[in-house]
Copies of this chain bind each other. A is one copy, B any other.
Amino acid sequence: MLKDWIKSEKPADEEMTSRLQKARAQLNGMQMAIKENKLPVLVIFDGWGGAGKGSIMGKVIKNLDPRFYKTETLSKPSEDELRRPFLYRYFVRIPEAGKFSFFDGSWMDEVTKDKLLGNTDADDYHRQLTSIKRFERQLSDNGYLVVKFFFHISRSEQKKRLEDLSSAKSTSWRVEKWDLWQNKHYDKCVDVYDEYLEATNQFTAPWYFIDSKNRKWAELQVTELLVKSIEIALQNKNRAAAVLQNTFPLKQMPRLSEISLDKTISDEKYDKELKKLQSKLADLHNKIYHAKIPVVIAYEGWDAAGKGGNIKRLTAALDPRGFEVQPIASPEPHEKNRHYLWRFWTRLPKDGHITIFDRTWYGRVMVERLEGFCSENDWQRAYNEINEFEKELDDWGAVIVKFWVQIDKDTQLARFTDRQNTPEKQWKITDEDWRNREKWDLYEDAVNEMIQKTSTEFAPWHILESNDKHFARIKALKTVIEAIEKKL
């Protein structure tokens, strides 16, 4: 792509001035439409060092209301970011609905730089490209406009600019070692960039090359392309996206109705096992801390199935400095304004730590599906999107344990009634619980579909038979221990 790219003739100065004036006014005028239509706009400025990404971004944002945009400079990952999944630092920075985010550099930098410096092998590189394509596709599919610019200058132009910048005291700090390396290995960079650009040139988020020799011309190209892309995105507001086929290895799972719930454990055995397993888990917690292995534990289940008590038996064994419980309620407004997985990406543990999610991203295919909080296309795509999310965690090296805490309908009724009749438990039962109970069959269908479609080999569901809560707690501990041991 980059190799064959032919730049358009630069217009005469007069024409540029009048087009720029028009395009700036259009872009400025679009801010309200973006806000009203809740369109999130992610604009990526990639390209050669010294090509003027920063200064053109400066010109574009000067034209915008500061309440409607954020800028992000993606230089080296911080120490904290290095302890998260590859996409983490990018995913947490996605724009809010109705606003722009301008990225000075993107994931392209990280991936192509590693490739150029020989820090990545072919398999890793392929895996990263796959992650990036999934990430950009998920953004488009979930209503994001992703506009990708590659700022292009020739080798000699780059050389001249870097020399000019270096020679002046006030600008020499802007020349980085990497820019000089790029210029020295320009042809090699072209090869690697070309391959990357072609691989990530999805038609839902295509690359646009910006001829950056002349700054006014570069600003004009960027502004006009932004205007055009936003127009199209506004027109496509309610676009549905293809429901892609599963490509992950799935485990065969039982349906909820096939699960026998008469499993029990004696009190005596429970006490003994609990003690033994908790001490084992405490020991493993130290080991994963030292081995820097992250652990993600996800709980879903019926109301009153005993999730809370189950989680407590896990956390009782853990060092409080090394774990966090994340109770998941309805999303806050700032969370609703982003990709539905954003609030889970931002809650991931650092490596060596454990995060326990009390309710999870599976809300998308349960409550959001059944209550109509998202469209049918949204929840149907979500199985694959969630598998992709968990694949990122797996690639990162995480232990992933997902629990469905299962009880039968009678047991739920007994527990609801008990809560209602016990003053100190009344806070635990709400009208919503009763309303959800009425939809038991619909939920059961949804849960069955979820378990079938998201029990990947790398992140399978485990059913906790919880009519006997003691039994479920022991099984949870055993499952977590086994999963960690397998990874160590």
Contacts and interface: CB of A to CB of B under 8 A. Distances in A.
Interface of A: 1, 4-6, 8-9, 137, 140-141, 202-204, 206-209, 225, 228-229, 231-232, 235-236, 238-250, 252, 377, 380
B250 A9 contact: yes
A209 B247 CA distance: 9
Nearest to A249: B6
Contacts of A1: 247
A6 B250 contact: yes
Given A203-B204, A204-B242, 11 more contacts: A6-B250, A8-B246, A137-B203, A141-B203, A203-B244, A207-B245, A231-B240, A232-B243, A235-B240, A235-B377, A236-B239
A225 to B, nearest CB: 8
A4 B247 contact: yes
Given A202-B203, A203-B204, A204-B204, A6 B235 contact: no
Given A6-B250, A204-B203, A247-B4, A239 B242 contact: no
A252 B9 contact: yes
Nearest to A376: B231
A482 to B, nearest CB: 23
Contacts of A247: 1, 4-6
Contacts of A203: 137, 140-141, 202-204, 241-242, 244
Contacts of A137: 203
A314 to B, nearest CB: 31
Contact of A206 (B209, B242, B377): B242
A246 B244 CA distance: 30
Contacts of A9: 250, 252
24 contacts: A1-B247, A5-B247, A6-B246, A6-B249, A8-B250, A9-B250, A137-B203, A140-B203, A203-B203, A203-B244, A204-B204, A204-B242, A206-B244, A206-B245, A225-B245, A228-B380, A232-B241, A232-B242, A232-B377, A235-B238, A235-B239, A235-B377, A236-B240, A239-B239
Contacts of A380: 228
A386 B262 CA distance: 69
Nearest to A377: B232
A245 B208 CA distance: 6
A245 B236 CA distance: 19
A272 B6 CA distance: 42
Rank and list the top 8 A-B pairs by shortest CB-CB distance, nearest first.
A6-B249, A235-B240, A232-B240, A208-B245, A9-B252, A206-B242, A236-B239, A239-B239
Nearest to A380: B228
A8 B251 CA distance: 9
